[in-house]
Amino acid sequence: MDMTTPTEELHQQLNSWKEEVNDVRTEVKMMRERLEQIALSKASRDVMTKVEHFENRLLRQREVADEMYHDLKQCAKKVSNAPVTAVHDDRPIDDYDTMQHRMEIFQKLYISLKEEFNGFMPCEV
């Protein structure tokens, strides 16, 4: 019989999302390393334009992942009724439902970026 409380289930989900966000950060780092290899080669101007495009998108993806990780930690504190430190921007962390919605968007956008990136890489490496 599973004896987890609703609060424990929320924490488990939040921890799962934090792991997923960390995985994204790791993958983004690997993608940036692959782009760096192309940037150091004598690729065409068109390829270099695409490399710059992906460098910018991956940089932003890393920033978003960092924000998500921070906000997931803050949401976990809120769920456990621990004091939440002040947030100096307008990213909502007040409730689990909001974080769930943000995580769904994060996942969709990352999958799209990864598919676009993978479509570019096999042709160039």
Q: What is the pLDDT along the chain (125 residues), one digit of tens a residue?
A: 456 677 788 889 999 999 999 999 999 999 999 999 988 888 899 999 999 999 999 999 999 999 999 999 988 888 776 544 444 455 555 678 888 999 999 999 999 999 999 999 855 44
Q: Structural domain boundaries of the chain?
A: 14-79+95-119
CB contact set of 60 (below 8 Å; sequence gap of 6+):
none
- According to the model, what pLDDT value does residue 4 have? 66
Task: State pTM to two decimals.
Answer: 0.80
- According to the model, what pLDDT value does residue 124 have? 46
- According to the model, what pLDDT value does residue 75 have? 86
Q: How far apart are the first and last CA of the chain?
A: 52
Of 26, 20, 41, residue with least CA distance to 121: 41
Helices (H) and strands (E) in the chain, counts: 3, 0
Q: How far is CA 71 from the centre of its chain?
A: 12
- According to the model, what pLDDT value does residue 86 have? 46
The count of other CB atoms within 10 Å of the CB of residue 25 is 15
- Exposure string over 39-76, b if 16+ CB within 10 A, otherwise e: eeeeeeeebeebbeebeebbeebbebbebbbebbbbbb
- According to the model, what pLDDT value does residue 7 have? 76
